[in-house]
A and B are shown apart, each in its own frame.
Chain A
Amino acid sequence: MGGPYWGPAPIKVEDITMLKKLSMAAFAVALSATSSLAATEVTWWHAMGGELGKKLEEIAQKFNESQADYKVVPVYKGSYPETLTAAIAAFRANQQPAIVQVFEVGTGTMMAAKGAVYPVYKLMADEGETFDPKTFLTPVTGYYSDTQGNILSLPFNSSTPIMYYNKDVFKKAGLDPEVAPKTWKEVEEFSKKIVSSGAAKCGFTSAWITWVQTENLSALHDKPFGTLQNGFGGVKSEFTFNGPLQVKHWANLKKWQDEGLFKYGGPVGGDQAATMFYAQECAITMNSSAGRAGVINNAKTFTPGFAPLPYYDDEIKEPKNSIIGGATLWVLNGKDKATYKGVAKFFSYLSKSEVQADWHQFTGYLPITNAAYDLGQKQGYYQKNPGSDIAIKQITRGTPSENSKGVRFGNFTQVRTIVDEEFQALLANKKDAKQALDSAAQRGNALLREFEAANSN
């Protein structure tokens, strides 16, 4: 890199003393460059664009400044699927990064790739870093541990879906803006009032039909999403998300769409859901807690409210905890000892409560450790920002059951696509709720068998 030499270009070169200084500076820069070359580089591929990406780079920067031996180099690789695919391709070509950020649906794929992954609990033990799984939030670690309770990847950005609502529209519709609907029955009632009073065109919308209205719906009501503890028990699991509860909910969504109470926000993350909520077209939306910053930034003309996800009170009295989404950091095999030492140091740094609390408060992702949550409470963050602890409370309430611990399936990215497709078929009157979910489960099971075959030899 010839960068530093050309840096101070506007300086008049005629000035000899200046020139001397300049060459001295160049020499110093060169020296520092070699010293930073001596630092072991730790490559970190991630999928955080925009504001999140900047914050992530800031974290890496601060770690690099905190010590001189290791240099973490974050590289943005595009969307989550793109990052995962890139890392896999790189691994096959022996060009893999030390750390890669993988989204939660890629967990099954990573866990099955035993030869490619350096489990975090083992790495930390090998490098002598203190790493106590108990300091982390249980629902977060539960999602990323093997059956023996060992954490395989470092939780970094975890979120859970919550409900966002428009207080001004609630007021206009004659509803109490401080009272969010608790149950689906109330969501229906409130939506009817909102639409009939003309306060908004639609009652509610939702991002992530798969994650929010199917996976989390099942967890909340303590219903299985698949056999073998939702896939935690092995690759032989089968989908069972076509049960009566899910069928009832999908049928309701279809009914509410026909009545104009619900509007579809699109497949995958449902980009339109946020747009419709910001434009005050829909009074309520359900989305990741990490969408909080976006809501606050975009809700310029109205006051947003935050609440837990609704549930069916005739199905369950006390809803279970919701399950997480987001991503974790996986360490890939094939690097030298020095690099792994750096990774371990960096992971210790990332788990510090100040770093965690800062990331959590800036992004709306969950605090990963109990200490980070405590720190936020001490700082009075949750009092100053009402609604910011809804996600944490929702994910830690009650005792997690086998059905609310999370889901872990192979080929899950494709399964989510299938669930989206079947939901679209339902809304387009091509299938009823039962047919759509049956078909989704059946197609999903074919993919699970495919995954089982590819990973059992």
Chain B
Amino acid sequence: MDTKRTTFNNRLLPYLLLAPQLAITLVFFIWPAAQAVKSSFEREDPFGFSTVFVGFTHYQRLLADPNYLDSLWRTAVFAVSVTVLAMVLGLAFAAAVDRLARSAKFYTTLLVWPYAVAPVVAGVLWWFLFNTSTGLLPYFLERFGIRWDHDLNGTHAMILIIVAAAWKQISYNFLFFLAGLQSVPQSLIEAAAIDGSGPVKRFFTISLPLLSPTTFFLFIINVNYTMFDTFPIVDATTGGGPAQATTTLVYKVYQDGYVGLNLGSSSAQSVLLMLIVMLLTFVQFRFVERRVQY
């Protein structure tokens, strides 16, 4: 593959052009991340009077703490559920809209709306819908013999945050899937149609495989989203409860660091979280590079 090459006469210019972006990355990412790594090896009182180097103590404690391991497991459940739900629904809506001729734009607009809602508002919205005493959904669920109680029932609380987090992410997935579907060569679909395969078969044998780079990209993005950006949703709905049933990794970082002022352990958790996401991203690049070939 031959790449386009731009040559600069001035040797300084390319660095200058990169400088703003590099400065932002340095100040807002590298520097705080380095700080987190540093304080993850230290024990410090909240006011910062005494700082002691403690090596891997925080990491050892975390990995031996059943609460942390539970939180890790719960985050995995949460991340996979939200991702699957948001992606399946996003794809379903995209496939549906893709078949529309005139009203496609109208539906696209409507389906993209939730993405503009701030996560905390999305959380509050679903919290209202699921409110045990005044909510609409518990009222309907009661007719099916389900007593909704996310204040005490951990499973209910988990379902609540999964639904709220997925709802917000469907729009994003929908947009990417729609773009992906629209770039599937029409000739392939027509050829298959002439050979007598129905719309369902065409979707599963032609569109879906051709969408795989998009699918994989979205999978990583969605997992990252649930790992980091769902904090406001948890905070606004369950507050990590009941009995830590919805305390995801990122929420625990906040709880221990911001509320509990245990900076060392909280930093160690951030670093672990960062490593997990780095690993995921690494896998994505390796995998996508290979898959993108066809």
Chain A residues proximal to chain B, CB less than 8 Å: 81, 84-85, 88, 91-92, 109, 112-113, 115-116, 264, 266-268, 272, 275-276, 279, 281, 411, 413-414, 417, 420-422, 424-425, 427-428, 430, 443, 447, 450, 453-455, 457
Residue in A88, A264, A268 whose CB lies within 8 Å of B46: A88
B75 to nearest A CB, angstroms? 17
B239: chain A residues at CB < 8 Å are 267-268
B242 in contact with A109 (CB, 8 Å): no
B152 in contact with A454 (CB, 8 Å): no
On whether A92 and B258 interact (CB within 8 A), knowing A428-B154, A454-B43, the answer reads: no
Residue in A115, A414, A447, A457 whose CB lies within 8 Å of B47: A115
Size range of the chain B interface in the assembly: 20 to 34
Chain B's closest residue to A443 (CB) is: B67
B151 in contact with A457 (CB, 8 Å): no
- Chain B interface SS verdict (over half): loop
A424 in contact with B259 (CB, 8 Å): no
CA distance A284 to B253 in the complex (A): 37
A91: chain B residues at CB < 8 Å are 47-48
Chain A's closest residue to B43 (CB) is: A454
Residue in A84, A109, A424 whose CB lies within 8 Å of B241: A424
B260 within 8 A of A: yes
Residue in B47, B67, B255 whose CB lies within 8 Å of A113: B47
A113: chain B residues at CB < 8 Å are 45-47, 49
B243 in contact with A413 (CB, 8 Å): no
CA distance A209 to B247 in the complex (A): 20
B270 to nearest A CB, angstroms? 16
B259 in contact with A414 (CB, 8 Å): yes
B261 within 8 A of A: yes
CA distance A81 to B67 in the complex (A): 22
A85 in contact with B258 (CB, 8 Å): yes
Chain B's closest residue to A79 (CB) is: B259
CA distance A443 to B258 in the complex (A): 19
> Quick one: CB contact mask for B217-243 with A, threshold 8 Å, 1 for yes?
000000000000000000000010111
B6 within 8 A of A: no
Chain B's closest residue to A267 (CB) is: B241
CA distance A375 to B294 in the complex (A): 86
CA distance A279 to B133 in the complex (A): 10
Which of B50, B255, B261 lies at the interface centre, i.e. has the most chain A CB atoms within 10 A of its CB?
B261
B135 to nearest A CB, angstroms? 12
Interface residues of B in 249-269 (CB under 8 A from A): 255-256, 258-262, 265
B52 within 8 A of A: yes
B243: chain A residues at CB < 8 Å are 421-422, 424-425, 428, 430
A102 to nearest B CB, angstroms? 12
Interface residues of B in 30-57 (CB under 8 A from A): 43-50, 52
B205 within 8 A of A: no
On whether A88 and B261 interact (CB within 8 A), knowing A109-B46, A116-B47, the answer reads: yes
A411 in contact with B260 (CB, 8 Å): yes
A447: chain B residues at CB < 8 Å are 260
B244 within 8 A of A: yes
- Chain A interface SS verdict (over half): helix
> Quick one: CB contact mask for B1-44 with A, threshold 8 Å, 1 for yes?
00000000000000000000000000000000000000000011
B256: chain A residues at CB < 8 Å are 414
A276: chain B residues at CB < 8 Å are 133
CA distance A340 to B48 in the complex (A): 23
A153 to nearest B CB, angstroms? 15
CA distance A179 to B69 in the complex (A): 51
B153 within 8 A of A: yes
On whether A453 and B47 interact (CB within 8 A), knowing A264-B151, A424-B241, A428-B152, the answer reads: no
CA distance A113 to B44 in the complex (A): 12
A85: chain B residues at CB < 8 Å are 258-259, 261
B244: chain A residues at CB < 8 Å are 421
Chain B's closest residue to A411 (CB) is: B260
Which of B49, B67, B132 lies at the interface centre, i.e. has the most chain A CB atoms within 10 A of its CB?
B49
CA distance A112 to B132 in the complex (A): 41
A109 in contact with B261 (CB, 8 Å): yes
Which of A109, A424, A425, A453 lies at the interface centre, i.e. has the most chain B CB atoms within 10 A of its CB?
A424
On whether A417 and B255 interact (CB within 8 A), knowing A85-B261, A411-B262, A428-B243, the answer reads: yes
B47: chain A residues at CB < 8 Å are 88, 91-92, 113, 115-116
CA distance A207 to B154 in the complex (A): 20
CA distance A91 to B43 in the complex (A): 18
B65 to nearest A CB, angstroms? 9
B262: chain A residues at CB < 8 Å are 411, 414, 450
Chain B's closest residue to A265 (CB) is: B151
B269 to nearest A CB, angstroms? 14
CA distance A92 to B261 in the complex (A): 13
B49: chain A residues at CB < 8 Å are 113, 115-116
B241 in contact with A414 (CB, 8 Å): no
CA distance A443 to B49 in the complex (A): 26
